[in-house]
Structure 1
Amino acid sequence: MPLPLRDQADVRDRWLTQRLLDLLPALMDRAGIDLWVVVGREYNEDPVLTTLLPATWLSARRRTILLFHRSDDGVTAAAVSRYPVGQFQPAWDDDGRPGTSAEESQWASVRRFVDQAAPRTIGVDVSATFAHADGLSTTEHRLLMAALGPHADRVVSAEQLVVGWLETRLPEEIAALRAMNRLVHEVIAEAFSPAVVEVGRTTALDVAWWIRQRFADLGVDPWFQPTVGLQRAGTPLVDEHGTALPGVPYDAVVQPGDLLHCDVGLSSLGLTTDTQRNAYVLRPGETRPPAGLAEALRVGNRMQDLTTAALQPGCTGDEVLAAARAGAAAAGIDGDVYSHPVGVHGHGAGPAIGMWDQQGGVPGAGEAVVHPDTVWALELCVRVPVPEWGGQLVRMGLEQGIALTAAGVEYLDGRQTELIVLPSS
């Protein structure tokens, strides 16, 4: 069960302190940034801002400006804000000049901080590739550049730093994600059981809404609407030319012989998960799924192996994709890979390993480099003909949280290697 909210806040604040001390200095060095400026206004926050604020700050207040200065002593974290910001050093020095507005005084304080820090490079959150790193609005950018004055020519994109901050996980965060994945697996197992599914009466849409309600009852939030889909013998997903067909409607009633697939993700402790699993409804007289469906899952597991083998620090996302697809082609596997970082955001900052409609590489995001201490949603699918269904192609979609550390790839609470089995009655 998730922790009470007050305990969650304590955990998140402890993580923030540890991240600022243990992760941020090296990340700033790697990005070549001496001063990182993060600016957000209430109701228009920079996506990275919420990851830097105390847990009790659910948004920016008025204009919140955070400054991170890298020096030989580590990183000085300061806040130019009307209100105290947790552990951040207050840096709003209101000079009290008659007629000076709060806005003028706030930006003047930023300038004084920069004058004293004398950074060689000033990182700001602008990026054409990652939305997560593009949070500095036009207005705030204009005001910041004006406030920096002669320092403005030192401004560079903080894209690499933002991505590193968002994608890098502490060991304690990975442990929390392991527990969160376990909770997801438990909810899916319950959803794909007679406790929820009454064959011949329950629809796939009913199951999807049950999952969302179950998350709410457990005190965790979905970051997208859960989906449950059906595949059925005689209702192919593609025709003989490979053209997509409608398939089984989402509101169709679950019947014996159906293959069920779900896609769910929850959010807790400022972290997210993304998971897909599959189940089979036995026909009367069956004691196990058809061998062809079991083989499709086995092929999906092989595709997972090919992808994780290629997931190496120093490679780009496109290089991982190319290696996985080359291995699949050599093994005669028809499949696609579209894996992505997951952590603070469900579709997280960092290298994209394909997209479902971009199997030749992803411009920009696919060129980003893989780093250790990151967490991924290993997402892919394979298409396999099933003899018991007259050779009909079945799409086996799989998605599982994995962590990449110095020890290699770890599945967070395992992966699906057997179909979940539902009795027909």
Structure 2
Amino acid sequence: MRLTWAGVLAALLVRVTAVAEPESWPHLPRYYTLPSLREQADIQDAWTRERRDKIPAILKKHGVDAWLVSQREYAEETVFWSLKSARQFSARRRTTMLFLASDNDTTASSYTWVDNTPKLWDELIHILDARRPRSIAVDVDPQIAFSSGLHAGELKAILAELGEHWIKRLVSKPLVAIEYIATQPKSRAAWYRRLQSTAWAMITEAFSERVITPGVTTTADVEWWLRERIQEMNYTTWFHPDVTIIDEHAWNLSSTASMMPSAVMMGPDLEIKEETGNVVNYGDMLHVDFGVTALGMNTDTQHLGYVLHPGETEDDVPRGLVEGLRKGNRAQDIVKANMKIGLTGNEILKNVLGQMHAEGIEGRVYSHPIGDWGHSAGTLIGMTNLQDGVPILGDIPLLPSMYYSVELLVEHFVPELNATLRFPLEEDIRHVSSEGDGSAWLWAYGRQERFHLVHTPLSSASSARQGHERLGFNSRGGGDL
């Protein structure tokens, strides 16, 4: 039996259970089936215990003796979601946690109350009287979401119950919550890699002839195929997939409106209106922004695809497009090499853009932390509209043991199209401590260095053209590029 490319792809994109993998990534990624919900809860709770054990050290690092986190049901603190058990779906009654930077290993370093009576405050004050913290961090920063989760009503209750003595010791220390959320336990790395592999596998399948029929399939069709695939695998996502066709008009970043996902736009009546997307044709360069969520972790990936004309192979991808992708890879290397622990995001951005310009690379850098949240706690290295530095969030130092999303675009002139195109790319990396020099960043799974390809056999060319004409589509770009 003659195997088609689609058949080979289907055979290789198999679902497998988790096993240890080397750092290098395979040519075709794998789907990973998640464990049972019970197993997932056990895995996540072990990670949370590992993270919570580091809280005393975080408090000492930032010069506070205690950290008070308090919330009511459906009015949870932002950091609550990184502190809770996997079996908790919300806070109950009043859920209050006190963490202490204790030097005594025989004394508890944390306390939790779930109560809706004055007894909670009595016991909290009793602990404070016994432990005598000189400063108590609360999450009330006015600018940073991860450090401002204490609701106004809850703060009012705390101020009413603690008494003047302890109220005077409340302080805002934004880096406490930021560092707790940003710091990823080493034991998470293997499963984060598997999530990345699964996201890559979905993109690889989506940007193939298994999903795309040139002249028929729209970008919205591919977006919804990805949503369905996520659900089939029992994963979720933190944003709707965004699939676009890259041409000289795509990714115009001169206005905020142009940065909205193509799938939805706000009409004048403020109702969300779904678009049908653009029809995918031969010779199109495709772009996807995509992430999966599972086990309390999120991924974020932007890849590029190319729709081959009937009978073409990878060697027929226009050289200008290949060079644009390589230029994007070089920009990724520059960002990764300049991510030095302790530098602020704004310092890293300045160094990165300076090196890019020195090497003749024009583009934008807008990289961000990832992990517990898609856009997670930590410093920002640029934003799409802020290439001279990001106020406040860009002034946070880069922390160790983080996951980070290297997100950027480069501009490259493509001779075959006589146009300058933008090449958006995004890959997740993780920080690994090492001897000597101090640290290194590794790709969480890998990075795209070749286009995802949509193949069409020559035998299908005539039927594809007939379907194309019957549906009234005009091929943008015509013949050879």
TM-score, normalising length: structure 2: 0.80
8 Å contact kept, 1:230–1:250: no
8 Å contact kept, 2:59–2:176: yes
Name which of structure 1's ranges 122-131 and 203-212 shifts more when overlaid on structure 2.
122-131
Equivalent of 1:13 in 39, 45, 54: 45
Equivalent of 1:135 in 149, 157, 176: 149
Cα offset for 1:244?
10
Q: Which residue of 1 aligns with 2:282?
A: 256
Does structure 1 residue 359 correspond to structure 2 residue 387? yes
Using the alignment, how far apart are the partners of 2:255 and 2:350 within structure 1? 25
Using the alignment, how far apart are the partners of 1:164 and 1:154 within structure 2? 21
Does structure 1 residue 276 correspond to structure 2 residue 302? yes
Does structure 1 residue 72 correspond to structure 2 residue 103? yes
Using the alignment, how far apart are the partners of 1:244 and 1:356 within structure 2? 9
Using the alignment, how far apart are the partners of 2:50 and 2:137 within structure 1? 22
- Check 1:250–1:174 CA distance in 2 against 1; reply closer, same or farther (3 A cut): farther
8 Å contact kept, 2:56–2:100: no
The 5 Å alignment of 1:6-405 reads: 6-21=38-53, 23-73=54-104, 76-82=109-115, 102-149=116-163, 150-232=165-247, 236-237=249-250, 251-284=277-310, 286-287=312-313, 288-390=316-418, 392-405=419-432
What letter matches 1:77 in structure 2?
S
8 Å contact kept, 1:289–1:421: no
Does structure 1 residue 412 correspond to structure 2 residue 444? yes
8 Å contact kept, 1:283–1:424: yes
In structure 2, list runs of 5 or more residues that go unmatched.
1-32, 263-274, 435-439, 458-481
Q: Which residue of 2 aligns with 1:98?
A: none
8 Å contact kept, 1:226–1:265: yes
Using the alignment, how far apart are the partners of 2:450 and 2:44 within structure 1? 36
What letter matches 1:337 in structure 2?
V
Using the alignment, how far apart are the partners of 2:251 and 2:304 within structure 1? 19
8 Å contact kept, 1:163–1:350: yes
8 Å contact kept, 2:56–2:99: no
Using the alignment, how far apart are the partners of 1:263 and 1:18 within structure 2? 32
8 Å contact kept, 1:231–1:258: yes
- Check 1:303–1:158 CA distance in 2 against 1; reply closer, same or farther (3 A cut): same
What letter matches 2:123 in structure 1?
S
- Check 1:42–1:143 CA distance in 2 against 1; reply closer, same or farther (3 A cut): same
- Check 1:333–1:155 CA distance in 2 against 1; reply closer, same or farther (3 A cut): same
Using the alignment, how far apart are the partners of 1:412 and 1:250 within structure 2? 33
8 Å contact kept, 1:339–1:353: yes
Q: What does the per-residue CA deviation read over 1:249-288, in whole Å, with 9 as the maximum and x for residues that have no partner?
A: 8711110010111011111111111111110011245433
Using the alignment, how far apart are the partners of 1:214 and 1:226 within structure 2? 11
Aligned length in residues: 401
Q: What does the per-residue CA deviation read over 1:182-203, in whole Å, with 9 as the maximum and x for residues that have no partner?
A: 1100111011111111111110
Using the alignment, how far apart are the partners of 1:17 and 1:236 within structure 2? 49
- Check 1:43–1:246 CA distance in 2 against 1; reply closer, same or farther (3 A cut): closer
- Check 1:47–1:245 CA distance in 2 against 1; reply closer, same or farther (3 A cut): closer
Name which of structure 1's ranges 267-276 and 172-181 shifts more when overlaid on structure 2.
172-181
- Check 1:132–1:412 CA distance in 2 against 1; reply closer, same or farther (3 A cut): same
Cα offset for 1:178?
1.2
Cα offset for 1:53?
1.5
Q: What does the per-residue CA deviation read over 1:166-222, in whole Å, with 9 as the maximum and x for residues that have no partner?
A: 000111112221111111001110111111111111101100111111111101110
Q: Which residue of 2 aligns with 1:85?
A: none
- Check 1:8–1:144 CA distance in 2 against 1; reply closer, same or farther (3 A cut): same
Q: Which residue of 2 aligns with 1:88?
A: none
Cα offset for 1:246?
7.7
TM-score, normalising length: structure 1: 0.90
Cα offset for 1:245?
11
In structure 1, list runs of 5 or more residues that go unmatched.
83-101
Using the alignment, how far apart are the partners of 1:199 and 1:376 within structure 2? 35
8 Å contact kept, 2:59–2:100: no
Using the alignment, how far apart are the partners of 1:201 and 1:258 within structure 2? 13
Using the alignment, how far apart are the partners of 1:250 and 1:349 within structure 2? 34
Using the alignment, how far apart are the partners of 2:110 and 2:118 within structure 1? 22
Q: Which residue of 1 aligns with 2:478?
A: none
The root-mean-square deviation of aligned C-alpha atoms, in Å, is 2.1
Name which of structure 1's ranges 11-20 and 55-64 shifts more when overlaid on structure 2.
11-20
Q: What does the per-residue CA deviation read over 1:92-138, in whole Å, with 9 as the maximum and x for residues that have no partner?
A: xxxxxxxxxx4433222222221122101101111123212111011
